């Protein structure tokens, strides 16, 4: 057990932290691209394609926090946020460039990718609040409960974090695109879907977290951690 990530030189010894971090960032970027497509599901409820991907981002963050601690998770969250913004800037740059006369897809290109900056803005704001709250609650409850009841800690932190994320994202991303009724319906549908998603993910969080703790030889307890989102060390 490690009480503070700074008590060990983790970055020199970890085998799986970097691959999981990369997967975390990639899944966030993919979710923000495909989220623009709204699909019907059942009982009149609607979801976006991104809703099938985005819960994995929170699950990966939960695993990162549980195994590597809040400080390590915080670094990945900021990495994902900056990558999100960079993707938006690259897309806007690509749209602004002139195209050859025989390329006839500029309108479709703008139609699909032109809203990405708005999506990224929504994602960044929602993600900043929701993800840090999720990570903070999981890390603090781990210390309070002495590392026990991971199922309760995971579900509680995910449920609270994703409720904030879902509401903020849908309001910002779909304002002026969908009616208030559909935004509300989408938010309720998405949140219920995420809760179900989380329930079925708990056994996998247990399994993966325990494997990583054993393989990496660590189990971080954030007893001395500074939980400010803006402090990248300690």
Name residue 40's beta-bridge partners. 46
C-alpha 182/C-alpha 38 separation (Å) is 11
234 domain-assigned: no
Average pLDDT, the chain: 85
Q: Which residues contact 107 (CB under 8 A, 6 or more apart)?
A: none
Least confident of 2-16, 20-34, 36-50, 203-217: 2-16
106 domain-assigned: yes
pLDDT in tens, 165-215: 888 888 887 777 778 888 888 788 888 888 888 888 889 998 999 999 999
70 domain-assigned: yes
* pLDDT at residue 58, rounded to an integer: 86
Q: CATH number, domain at 58? A: 1.10.1760
Percentage of the chain surpassing pLDDT 90?
A: 32
- H or E, element range at 39: strand 38-40
227 domain-assigned: no
224 domain-assigned: no
Q: Which residues contact 92 (CB under 8 A, 6 or more apart)?
A: 116, 117
Q: Which residues contact 7 (CB under 8 A, 6 or more apart)?
A: none
Binned at pLDDT 50, 70 and 90, residue 50 comes out as confident
pLDDT of 41 strictly over 60: yes
Count how many domains the chain has: 1
222 domain-assigned: no
Q: Which residues contact 131 (CB under 8 A, 6 or more apart)?
A: 57, 58, 61, 77, 161, 165
Binned at pLDDT 50, 70 and 90, residue 7 comes out as very low
12 vs 128, higher pLDDT? 128
* pLDDT at residue 182, rounded to an integer: 82
Percentage of the chain surpassing pLDDT 70?
A: 92
pLDDT of 45 strictly over 90: no
* pLDDT at residue 8, rounded to an integer: 46
223 domain-assigned: no
Parent domain of 64: 5-216
């Amino acid at each position: 057990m490690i009480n503070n990530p700074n008590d060990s030189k983790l970055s020199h010894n970890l085998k799986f932290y970097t691959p999981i971090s990369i997967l975390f960032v990639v899944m966030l970027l993919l979710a923000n691209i495909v989220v623009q497509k709204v699909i019907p599901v059942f009982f009149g409820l609607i979801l976006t394609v991104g809703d099938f991907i985005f819960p994995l981002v929170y699950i990966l963050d939960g695993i990162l926090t549980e195994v590597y601690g809040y400080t390590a998770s915080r670094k990945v969250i900021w990495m994902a946020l900056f990558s999100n913004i960079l993707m938006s800037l690259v897309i806007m740059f690509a749209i602004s460039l002139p195209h050859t006369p025989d390329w006839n897809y500029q309108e479709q290109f703008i139609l699909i990718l032109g809203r990405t900056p708005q999506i990224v803005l929504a994602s960044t704001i929602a993600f900043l609040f929701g993800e840090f709250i999720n990570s903070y609650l999981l890390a603090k409850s781990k210390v309070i409960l002495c590392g026990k009841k991971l199922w309760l800690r995971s579900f509680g932190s995910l449920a609270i974090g994703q409720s904030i994320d879902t509401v903020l994202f849908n309001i910002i991303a779909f304002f002026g695109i969908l009616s208030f009724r559909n935004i509300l319906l989408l938010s309720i549908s998405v949140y219920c879907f995420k809760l179900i998603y989380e329930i079925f993910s708990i056994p996998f969080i247990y399994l993966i977290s325990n494997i990583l703790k054993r393989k990496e030889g660590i189990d971080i307890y954030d007893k001395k951690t500074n939980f400010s989102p803006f402090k990248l060390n300690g």
